[in-house]
Structure 1
Amino acid sequence: MEIGGFEIHPALLDRPAQEALVEDLRAVLAQAPLVQPETPRGRKMSVRMSAAGRYGWISDRRGYRYSDTHPAGTPWPSIPEAVLAIWRRVAPGARDPECCLINWYGEGARMGLHQDRDETDMSQPVVSVSLGDDGLFRMGNEERGGPTRSVWLHSGDVVVMGGAARLRHHGVDRIRFGSSTLLPRGGRLNLTLRVVT
């Protein structure tokens, strides 16, 4: 399914694959715990973040940027093979990702409309994997403003943002907390895979 250049793969991951992926992510987060970032203006973000791969994306008073270390100063863990397999399946021919950003949405968390533009090579896609509670994904335009479209993403759905959609604004307006039983305490995990350099 394609909406405005966003390539959506509903239910790409079945329940056993989702459960196995969550276990892989638990191992990653044991090495690189989730943190609550703040914007350069000092406002706390509502999501909690971590990463795997050569780089992680971080935000603090110094700005938005990629870093080769966790805010605690330790290197990021490797991207799990199961995550790389998803990338290779939906983005054949693309270079392997250098960052797997892990966002955890609790009750009331959201992500405002934004562009992924801190990467060097915009010819490479961004791939998003949804796990856990449903998230209302909003898709906009390359320029701010104008009409947007929204779709509920469910656990196991994968979105590819490449080509015309690579620099389009997108965000998550809200989650349906408790709509999935994948994560024992509820919430939504979102993985975004990117080629950074």
Structure 2
Amino acid sequence: MSGNRLDKIDLAALGPMTTAEAIAFLNGEDIDVLRAQQQERDEIAEEADRYKLVSPPEWPSLEFNWDLSASAQRFALDGCKPESFATSFSNGLRLGWVSLKEFDAKLSRINRRALVELWDVGDKEKLAMAIAYISRGKPITPPLVHPIPAEKQVCFGGGNHRYTVAKFSGQIDLPIYADPGEAERIAAIVTVRWA
């Protein structure tokens, strides 16, 4: 195997690898970067445990670092792979800003949360993780919104927990993403300042 990438790397120096690390290594990824990312995820998860079931006034100070870059748009849909996003949204998503109060009034009941049900609806782990992630100033992608014209409402295609943290942390405006083909129908339901 002369000339192989494995010939140039001291595998012993990398130490024991998890299965995920071994696969990443074989795919040419940097193990040190992967380990640093995992350590950060572990720290965020540990911090998130402190916020679980905590009322919003006791949350840390939250400064939203909205990532509006084209490369981050796929994160509007939870767990969307780059290839899948490129196939579904070849022209990308359209960015707009809404008044959170008006938007909340037009949001489908299946997505909207009241304070009394803050920790009873949705995934407690994801909500606590979103609080911890945002508290660190990490870049966060706006939620993806779809219209429900028959009911004059909107719903999420991804980002329910991001919206929930924004709502209960007192944000005034919320950035949203929309499929460009649905933008006009969304704007007929809620006022959107399109970028």
Pairwise TM-score range, normalised by the shorter structure: under 0.3
The structure, 1 or 2, with the larger RCO (C-alpha pairs under 8 Å, 6+ apart) is: 2
Q: Which has the higher helix share?
A: 2
Q: Which has the higher strand share?
A: 1
Task: Tell me the TM-score normalised to structure 2 length.
Answer: 0.26
